[in-house]
Amino acid sequence: MKLHSLTAQCCAALAASAVALAAPSKDQLQKVAEQAHAKFKDDKSGKNADYIPALAKVPSELFGIVIITKDGDVIKVGDVDTPFSIQSCSKVFTMCLVMQESGDKIVYDKVNVEPTGEAFNSITAIEEGDGRADNPFVNAGAIATVSLIKAKSPEERWDKIHKTYEKFAGSKLIVMPDIFKSEADTNFRNRGIAHVLFNSGNLFCDPLEATEVYTKQCSVGVTAEQLAVMGSTLANGGVNPITKEKCIDKKYVPKVLATMTMNGFYDGSGQWAWNAGLPAKTGVGGGIVAVVPGELTIVGFAPPLDTYGNSVRAQKAIEFIASELDLNIFGSTK
């Protein structure tokens, strides 16, 4: 038994050593990021989200790539300092807040973690299922997740979310007022989703409160670099590699990454896993945050989206980087 244990420890050490040896250098990361940016910067595919009017006005030519390693190395190319709305990338970090506050079981029991097979803003998915939202990354699931935060008022609920995002980002973040107003003026469907969830017993605060706070979280402005710091905290086992502050217990990170893998690209999640093989989350503001567990995070930002609501240039760039560096979590594709 002791020999078996020693052998297992040796194998684990060798495996860890092999991973460390295989990790790309900062120069390699910079080179491949620059190649990806040059390769896709002139791609005109897709179009900005227009169901939120303010997003249609964002310059479509913006394009940035940031890579941050678990050791805090930062690689930047392109428009990485231009704030954009975090949108659905926010859902990952609100989920982290709820898990840190109440454990992972509450998300599994109250929201669920399954793909919907429906659009991200589907009401049908709730009604044809068991009345829950299916997963935390569709709109229904995100609104339900917001309602699970322990709070006695909308202000307390929002304050907890805001402080969590800033902790993950290691910097101050603000709500973009034009985005928030545009979303709040047009979020009738999300209000309907919240009421359907409440009616089925699967929303845990006032429906309009949950919708307003959810709308506000989606309107938080981040740069590609700030979003990459947020993602790199998950790559680093829940510890921000820049500030060294723990943001979420390490034991919850695999479940966050599993949910990102299954649901992070909406109905494009299967093809993303097939092509890139990385846990990731997208937002209709044009951001994508992808995580290589234990190693690094890649963020791409470009406003034009595909038919699923995922940034075209950002996903192509991340796929290229993942392929060139052989980062697929399911195994080597070389």
- Would you please indicate which residues are annotated as catalytic (active-site) residues? 88, 91, 214, 266, 284
CA distance 173 to 75: 21
- Candidates 267, 218, 250; CA nearest to 92 is 218
Label residues 61-85 b or e (16+ Cβ within 10 Å = b): ebbbbbbbbbeeebbbbbbbeebbb
Beta carbons of 183 and 256 less than 8 angstroms apart:
no
CA distance 292 to 257: 10
CA distance 137 to 146: 11
Tell me the C-alpha to C-alpha distance, in Å, between residue 249 and each of 50, 234, 284, 316: 37, 10, 28, 32
CA distance 53 to 67: 30
Is 266 annotated to bind a ligand? Reply is yes
- Candidates 296, 292, 288, 293; CA nearest to 317 is 288
301, containing H or E segment: strand 296-301
Is 183 annotated to bind a ligand? Reply is yes
Is 214 annotated to bind a ligand? Reply is yes
Which residue positions form the known binding site for substrate? 88, 139, 183, 190, 214, 266, 284
